[in-house]
Structure 1
Amino acid sequence: MAFDKRREYLFLYSVKDANPNGDPLNENHPRYDGDTAQAMASDVRIKRTIRDEWVRGKEQVLVDGQAKSLKTRFEELKKSTGQSDAREVIRECLDARLFGVTFALGTEAFSWTGPVQFKWARSLHSASFEFIQGTSAFATEGRDGADKQQRSFRNEYLVPFALMSVYAIANQNASAETGASDGDLRK
């Protein structure tokens, strides 16, 4: 069931008028290399993007993007998979098989190193960043039941354009532990 051989990937994608990966410790500015002015995106952001695609495609994933506890998510997965053993339940999740997992719930605890690993993405050129301010308007109900209009300002940082590249590796040895297959790599 493991990969039949090691693989290397180079992903290219473009970013236009968007923030490729906001830095929460820096007012959500796009991540960038101060020396080269390259836009950057973390491996975690790349995995989130891939998981979002899998969720849209109805693949079973552990990290589904919804705010919930591990216990709640595990109970959901037990129901949907019909399994009760923690390792077997988690092995049903495509993201855990490919990206790995650290699981600790009750008396069950294990960790798998994911066979697919990403480096940080970088733009293939220097990128500029723009600060954009905008307004939002929405209706709310006042205390007297009448509609009121609320307005708010928003600030965001955008990259007008960046061609991003990210290198990844799929390790056949690590895939044996997680149960990842060649078919998983095609999803």
Structure 2
Amino acid sequence: MSINNGEFIFIKSVKDGIPNRDPLQDSDARRLFPEEDGRISLSDVSIKRDVRDYVISAEPNGGQDKRNYIFVQEKVNEKGKLLGRGSLAESIAKEVGKDKEAKTNMKSVLIDHCFDVRTFGIVYSVKPKFNLTGPVQFGWAHSLHPVDSQYVQGTVVMPSSDIKNDGDEGKTQGTIWTSYIVPFALFIMPGVINAKIAEQTKMSKEDQELLFKALWQGTQHRQARGRGQQQPLMLVHVEYNDPFFRIGYLEDLVSLNPGKEAWRSSGERPSSIKDVSINVEAMLEKIEMYKDKIANVRIWVHPSLKVEGKIDQYKQPLW
């Protein structure tokens, strides 16, 4: 079945880590706003990586129907060498038994068998070259409050190499490490789904549902020490019956209590989800205002999140 035009917002929290570091700032948190604003940000690349890694684990070898391979990933050959775009595409075509078709129409093969190609699009730079704009587009995720990152240091007890000579004292010592971490941050990320573009990439209802499940469970699934503890808290999906309409900027209709100005003026920062609540009343008012253009509204919310606004009629069971 074809999907409807839609948009969504995704809220998650991070404790004791930085989910998206800025290599231009010594791997500190990304800051798109002025320093006095205090908010930090996450790129769409980080969010898409969560989704892709989840699908790779949840749908091994493309899943039962071989439709959910992931094209954009790190994969090595039998010699341990990273595969390029052409080799990755050829390996998928071979696994689904479409080697011959791929030689003349790789675009069709990847659309039919790669979840991330249908949802996020693709730039295929191997001849014959082609590209597809993805029907799903994420915005940057920004913290809902000012955040102070902390510079921390520690040591690794294990020496860097074996001791070869009695006088080689330097090798006996562990390694000192340094890193930035964020004690706590609450992020909101917007996204849109374009129904007309979905027709071109053949994104289906099943793809859409897998996307939302991957957003939620993928946030918890992908592990790395620097990511800290991450928790999905709220996902809102608004579907429209008009393929050319959307409310837009749903993230601006959601607010944090206490608000960012309260944290900025006090100099304090939230340290836990218990310190805040999410107000969605303005968003619900907009949904009511445009209800004639809306086909469906769904909200997934973690039980630990305090929500201001009557969302019971839209609440969905968690995965």
Unaligned runs of 5+ in 1: none
Q: CA deviation at 1:164?
A: 0.6
Aligned residue number for residue 97 of structure 1: 118
Kept in 2: contact 1:97–1:179 (CA 8 A):
yes
Q: Secondary structure at the match of 2:71?
A: coil
Aligned residue number for residue 149 of structure 2: 129
Kept in 1: contact 2:163–2:172 (CA 8 A):
no
Deviations 1:43-74 (A, max 9, x none): 11111111111112124100124443112212
Closer/same/farther in 2, CA of residues 149 and 71 from structure 1, 3 Å limit: farther
Return the index of the structure with the highest Cα Rg: 2
Aligned residue number for residue 135 of structure 2: 115
Q: Structure 2 CA distance, aligned partners of 1:119 and 1:22? A: 17
Kept in 2: contact 1:20–1:159 (CA 8 A):
no
Aligned residue number for residue 25 of structure 2: 26
Q: CA deviation at 1:80?
A: 1.8
Residue 153 (str. 1) matches residue 176 (str. 2): yes
Deviations 1:116-172 (A, max 9, x none): 00000001111110111111233644569xxx7562111111111011110001110
Closer/same/farther in 2, CA of residues 65 and 11 from structure 1, 3 Å limit: farther
Closer/same/farther in 2, CA of residues 68 and 153 from structure 1, 3 Å limit: farther
Aligned residue number for residue 97 of structure 2: 82
TM-score by length of 1: 0.89
Closer/same/farther in 2, CA of residues 115 and 135 from structure 1, 3 Å limit: same
Q: Secondary structure at the match of 2:117?
A: helix
Closer/same/farther in 2, CA of residues 52 and 150 from structure 1, 3 Å limit: farther
Q: CA deviation at 1:81?
A: 2.0
Closer/same/farther in 2, CA of residues 153 and 72 from structure 1, 3 Å limit: farther
Aligned residue number for residue 52 of structure 2: 51
Residue 60 (str. 1) matches residue 69 (str. 2): yes
Q: Structure 1 CA distance, aligned partners of 2:158 and 2:90? A: 37
**After the TM superposition, which of the residue ranges 168-177 and 68-77 deviates more from structure 2?**
68-77
Q: Secondary structure at the match of 2:197?
A: helix
* Greater relative CO, 1 or 2 (CA 8 Å, sep 6+): 1
Unaligned runs of 5+ in 2: 60-67, 76-81, 166-170, 211-319
The number of equivalent residue pairs is 182
* AA matched with 1:152: T
Q: Which runs of 4+ in 1 moved over 6 A?
A: none
* AA matched with 1:76: S
Q: Secondary structure at the match of 1:52?
A: helix
Q: Structure 2 CA distance, aligned partners of 1:25 and 1:99? A: 26
**After the TM superposition, which of the residue ranges 80-89 and 135-144 deviates more from structure 2?**
135-144
* AA matched with 1:163: L
RMSD: 1.9
Aligned residue number for residue 42 of structure 2: 41
Deviations 1:74-110 (A, max 9, x none): 22212222223211331111011100101021x3111
Deviations 1:26-46 (A, max 9, x none): 211111222421120011111
**After the TM superposition, which of the residue ranges 175-184 and 76-85 deviates more from structure 2?**
76-85
Q: Structure 2 CA distance, aligned partners of 1:61 and 1:7? A: 23
Closer/same/farther in 2, CA of residues 10 and 156 from structure 1, 3 Å limit: same
**After the TM superposition, which of the residue ranges 60-69 and 85-94 deviates more from structure 2?**
60-69
Aligned residue number for residue 192 of structure 2: 169
Q: Structure 2 CA distance, aligned partners of 1:37 and 1:20? A: 17
Aligned residue number for residue 181 of structure 1: 204
TM-score by length of 2: 0.53
* AA matched with 1:131: Y
Kept in 2: contact 1:137–1:149 (CA 8 A):
no
